[in-house]
Structures are given as structure tokens and as C-alpha cells.
Chain A
Amino acid sequence: MRAQDKIGRHSQRIKLAAYSSMARAVGQRRAWSRALMLKLKLSDKRKNRYRWLAARKMKQQKTLRRGCGRILATKRNRSEKGSPSRSCSGVDELRRLVPGGEAMDLGVLLEETAHFVRCLETQVRVMSIIADCFP
């Protein structure tokens, strides 16, 4: 295997390990960590670990075409099942970014987002410290 391919492969595995350990550190206490652990477990079972990461990366690179509507209007629209005209808002995008977000009520989504973001920040700090430890 070329050295560059090896580095790329290791990078993917390090990234997987980072998200996996972040979710496991929180355990069952949060909806997002439960959803993330399940997602990682399923993608591991299918032996397509990298497909999950690639799919997430593709989602991130998609341009946000929808505008931001009113958050309260979205809350009301979601309660109307089968409503043909959903108001577009940042809430939809947030649901896609937070693991398990699609199934959450709005209030739960906002709380889970706060915790998820704090954990991501900690993750970044931990990885920076590890990188600085190398001579």
C-alpha cells in the first residue's frame, strides 16, 4: 500500500475512533450519543465504516438552499402531520447535523444540540493536546 494511502486510511480510522470514544464517554445518557453509537455499530456491522463518514461529508458539502423561516412557525408546522407546505428553517438543517435529530421534539433537539456541541469542542481540544504530545 502506498504511504499516502496508508496515511489516509489511518486518518479515517482515527476519526472513527474519535467519534466512537466521544459517544461512548457520554454513553446512554443522551439521545445524540445513543443515536451515534447505533449508527457506528450498524455501519461497522456492514463493514462499511468509511461509507458513513463519506456520506456525512457529502451532506456537509451540500449547499443549504433553504432559507431560514421562523422557528416558532416550524414548531407549529411539524405538529400538522402530512402538511404539504413545511416552512424551511435552520431547524431542519440542525436535525440533520445532530445525531438522532430527526426524531426529536424541538425542545429536546435544542438541548441535545447544546450538549453535542460542547462534546465536539472537547473532542477537538483532546485531539489537539494529543497532537502536541508527539515530538
Chain B
Amino acid sequence: RAGILIPVVRVLAHLERLEIQVNRSHKNLEDPQRAQAVEHALRTKIHKLRCLRDELRSKVKRRQARVRASIANEEPDQTQEISEQEVAERRQENVKAILQAYRFTGLSGKLTSRGVCVCISTAFEGNLLDSYFIDLVLQKPLWIHHHSIPIFIPLEEISAKYLQTNIQRFLFCLCEYLNAYAGRKYQADRLQSDFAAYLARPLQRNPLCNLLSFTYKVELRGQFLFCARLLYKDLTTTLPTDVTITYPEMDALPPSWEEQRASHENLFFTKPLHQVFTSFARKGEKLDVTQV
């Protein structure tokens, strides 16, 4: 019987609520004047609030305008110009520095009034060496105005082959020759300066550094002399094409020496000159340590 009672109570409560609502609305209808007055008051309030809102809006707008004007009034054009000039100068310096740094690529150039001045910067084993210049006149036919290429580099030969037909090949060929020369010269210089103690006589060299002749000391149960003669028949390489090692006293030598000689010859063929002597120096140090 409780199951039927709850829904009944609910319905009764709902009906009660509806009755109250109806009574309320009847009250308003009974007093329209009072309702109108309330409405009017509300309308006035809304109007006032709207006016206040508009006023505040315009105030904000005026203030913003004033701030903008004051910023503009602090000599606006000049400050912009100076910063623009600074920016332009800084940019120019930056570009100039980049152009100067192009040297490190090995082949760079600058336009001249009559053509281009090409700069070939040589390097070997990560060391930047001498730079050489060629001033080219861009006319038909192309010609070399002046240059700083050493006289023993076959510039005329290379020009005759490539200058008119393939300027890129001309420059690359010249780069090859100059870099190879710089590399050979570097090795010879290093041998003379860093390993003078190993040389029994001064190093003999020629301008192209393509023929090197020297007598060096070898430690092997006593001190012996080896005579080395290195030929670089390929002017575009930094390693020799012919290596001959002889001993001043030809006859009185044990067979183990032949091994040494052959191994040295091989070393000179495969490694740059100063590196070969560095390895000699290291071996020498090892020997000293073991003897101690």
C-alpha cells in the first residue's frame, strides 16, 4: 500500500505548487500599476547603466589616443632613421666579413672595373698557406691582366688549354697545381725546420719542390745514414712518384737493412714527408724507453 502512496503524495505536492504559481500571477494581474512602476524603474536603471558604460568606453579611447600621441611626439622619424642606418651598417659589415671569409673556401673573387680578381688560397692538412691572385679581364678573348702566380707554375700552358674555352676548368686546374705545390713546399719546410737534427746534410730542393734529396740518420744498433731521393713527377700531387733510398756505403750491410730500406721507401711513398719523420721520432723515443 506504501508503493501507491508515494506517487500520490508527489502528485499532490505538484498540484500545490501549480496553485501557488497561479495565485502569484493573479496577484500581478490584480495590480498592473505596481508592475508598470517596477518596469519603469528597471528601464531607467538600464538606461543609466548604459550611459555609464558609454562614458567609460570613451574615456578609455581618449586615454589610448593620448598615449599614442605622446609616443609619436618623442621625435619619431629620427630615431627610426638612426636605427635603420645602424642596421644597414651592421648588415654591410656582416656581408663584408662573409666575403672576406670566402677566402677559406680556397677559391674566391672580387669583381673589378674590368673583370674579376680571383684569389686562390692554398692549404695543406688543414693549414692555410699562401694565397695567389689572378686579375682577369672579361673581354673576348679573356686575358690575364696581372697575377702573383710563381713563375715555375705552368700558367701559360694551363691558360692555353682552358682559359678561352672553360674558365672553370682553368681555375680548378690552377688550384690543383698551386695546392699541390704548397703542400710539397710545406712538407719540405717542415723537414728543414722541425727535423734538422735527423739530416746529416742540408736538404736539397728545387723551386717546385718536386725533387728532394737528403741524407738522414737512422738508429739501428748504431747510427747509419740513408740517402733518399724523392721525385714528384705529377705536379698535381703532394706524394712522390719515385722514391730511391740508397746507403752511402753500399757493400757492408746486413740483410735486415734491406728490410729497413724497403720499409722506409714504402713510408715515403705513402705518407707526407714530415709525418714519416714524426713516426721516426716516435720510434726513437720508444727505443730510448726500452733501453732504460
**Bound pair (A, B):** no
